[in-house]
Structure 1
Amino acid sequence: MAVKRLKNRDANDLRRIPGVGEIIARDLQELGIEAVSDLKDADPEELYEKLCVQKGVRVDRCMLYVFRCAVYFASRKSHDPELLKWWRWKDKQGTGSRL
């Protein structure tokens, strides 16, 4: 029971990230991310690729955009409110790069 409580507490920390709810928090935990601070300076593309391998399918690319937003959130003390919207982290059309 204590382990479940600890996981829930960690999931609550991850849910502070804009765009991260219960399911994405669980996905992050399965990738070894237990707290917002674990995402500081992480590589969102690497996290996305690991998740795809773990799930055995190509996960919707929106998850990559959420991971980009999450890393931005974790890596800075102050945030541009527009960049706390996961859809602002989509690939630029024709370039495959983020904002």
Structure 2
Amino acid sequence: MSEELRKLANIGPAMARDLARLGITEPAQLAGRDPVELYERLCALDGHRHDPCVLDTFMSAVDQAGGAPPRPWWTYTAERKRLSGTR
């Protein structure tokens, strides 16, 4: 597991393992990625829908990898809900 991923806000051991399962082992691999696509791939891998907070956390990690300042995962909840209304 990448210790570099764990340096991102909101990424603990379990989220780092989930990202590694998606082939992401370094923060730079998150830059420019679609967090919704990552979430959907994880759900498909596991055969069930994960808690939406996982998507919020992916949104946070992708933003940080792109240069945004760290923010708590729950600050992405409203944005996630807006996105889910358009998909």
Query: Is residue 2:42 matched to residue 1:70?
Result: no
Q: Which residue of 2 aligns with 1:49?
A: 40
Q: Which has the larger radius of gyration?
A: 1
1:86 to 56, 73, 78: 73
Gaps of 5+ in 2: none
Residues 92/40 of structure 1: CA separation in 2 closer, same or farther (3 Å cut): closer
TM-score (structure 1 length as normaliser): 0.77
Cα gap change, 1:93 to 1:64, in 2 (>3 Å): closer
1:21 corresponds to: 12
* Structure 1 counterpart of 2:49: 58
Task: Kindly indicate whether structure 1 or structure 2 has the higher relative contact order, using CA contacts under 8 Å at least 6 residues apart.
Answer: 2
Percent sequence identity over aligned pairs? 38
Q: CA RMSD of the aligned region, Å?
A: 1.8
Letter in 2 for 1:29: A
The aligned amino acid for 1:48 is Y
Whether the 8 Å CA contact 2:24–2:30 is kept in 1: the answer is: yes
With the length of structure 2 as denominator, give the TM-score of the two structures: 0.87
Q: How much does 1:61 deviate?
A: 0.4
Write the distance in 2 (CA, Å) between the matches of 1:48 and 1:42: 11
How far, CA to CA, are the matches of 1:31 and 1:15 in structure 2? 15
The structure in which a higher percent of residues are helix is 2
Match of 2:83 in 1: 96
Instruction: Name the CA distance, whole Å, in 2 between partners of 1:64 and 1:26.
Output: 15
